Chain A
């Protein structure tokens, strides 16, 4: 069955960095585009970044552009999000989600990994 498992979250000081990972299984990872979506405590969902199936097309939300970097390793079925220059407002659960090029949207999500930015 389809599984997306995030890891790499934790407590980090303002200005620090974390590398989040999303391990995929149960489907052909290289056929799907992927996104990171976050949710601050008690708040709504916010799309963060997108990467195409081959990794050659990448988009970022304005709130993270220049600080976060999305990447993927199709040989290892893993999605990454390098988060730098972290701010308190980046505190959130970070979800990875997959999508296919038939407009079916984000049809599978991981359970999320919590990033807490605090001194």
Chain B
């Protein structure tokens, strides 16, 4: 079965750049998506179709994909960016959707 693997945690100082990776065979065949979730809130889509940003999402959020790895980059991290981040894709048949285990971003 397909799985998406993320680091459990990433720490960064304010103003620095945070990179969160997502690895899985599914990413070679299907688009990758990224979500931000703050405590007690529903997830918010940050990235779709590997590297597209929905309207209203700050430009400091960007993403790329190469082979089996997708990467979410947060440039100039702000305190408000402290949250859980999830990658998401689908299996090769497009009949099951997958989420990574999530990465807790801590802003030091």
**Is residue A80 contacting chain B, with contact meaning CB distance below 8 A?**
no
Q: How far apart are A105's CB and chain B's nearest CB, in angstroms?
A: 4
CB contacts (< 8 Å) of B44 on chain A: these are: 109
Q: With A and B bound together, what is the CA distance between A23 and B25 in angstroms?
A: 35
- Give chain B nearest CB distance to A94 CB in angstroms: 11
Residue of A50, A59, A105, A110 ringed by the most chain B CB atoms within 10 A:
A105
Instruction: Indicate if B38 sits at the interface (CB-CB under 8 A).
Output: no
Q: Are A106 and B102 in contact (CB under 8 A)?
A: no
Residue numbers in A under 8 Å from B43 (CB-CB): 45, 95, 106, 109
User: In this assembly, does A26 line the interface, its C-beta being within 8 Å of a C-beta of chain B?
Assistant: no
> Which of chain A's residues 65-117 have a Cβ closer than 8 Å to chain B?
95, 103-107, 109-112
CB B67 to nearest CB in A, in angstroms, measures 19
Q: Which residues of A contact B48 (CB under 8 A)?
A: 103-105, 107
**In whole angstroms, what is the CA distance A106 to B98 when docked?**
12
A61: which of B42, B52, B96 is its contact (CB, 8 Å)?
B96
Contact check, B49 vs A106: say whether CB atoms are below 8 A apart.
no
A interface: dominant SS = strand
Chain A neighbourhood of B23, CB < 8 A = none
Q: How far is the CA of A37 from the CA of B90 in the complex (A)?
A: 13
Cα of A35 to Cα of B95 in the assembled complex, Å: 12
Interface residues of B in 22-55 (CB under 8 A from A): 31, 33, 35, 37, 41-45, 48-49, 52, 54
Within 8 A of A (CB), among B62-103: 86, 88, 95-102
Residues in chain B within 8 A of chain A (CB atoms): 31, 33, 35, 37, 41-45, 48-49, 52, 54, 86, 88, 95-102
Residues of chain A at the chain B interface (Cβ within 8 Å): 35, 37, 44-47, 50, 59, 61, 95, 103-107, 109-112
13 A-B contacts (beta carbon < 8 Å): A44-B86, A44-B102, A45-B86, A45-B88, A47-B99, A50-B97, A59-B96, A61-B96, A103-B31, A104-B48, A106-B43, A109-B44, A111-B41
7 A-B pairs with the lowest CB-CB distances in the bound complex, closest first: A47-B97, A45-B99, A109-B42, A44-B102, A105-B48, A105-B33, A59-B95
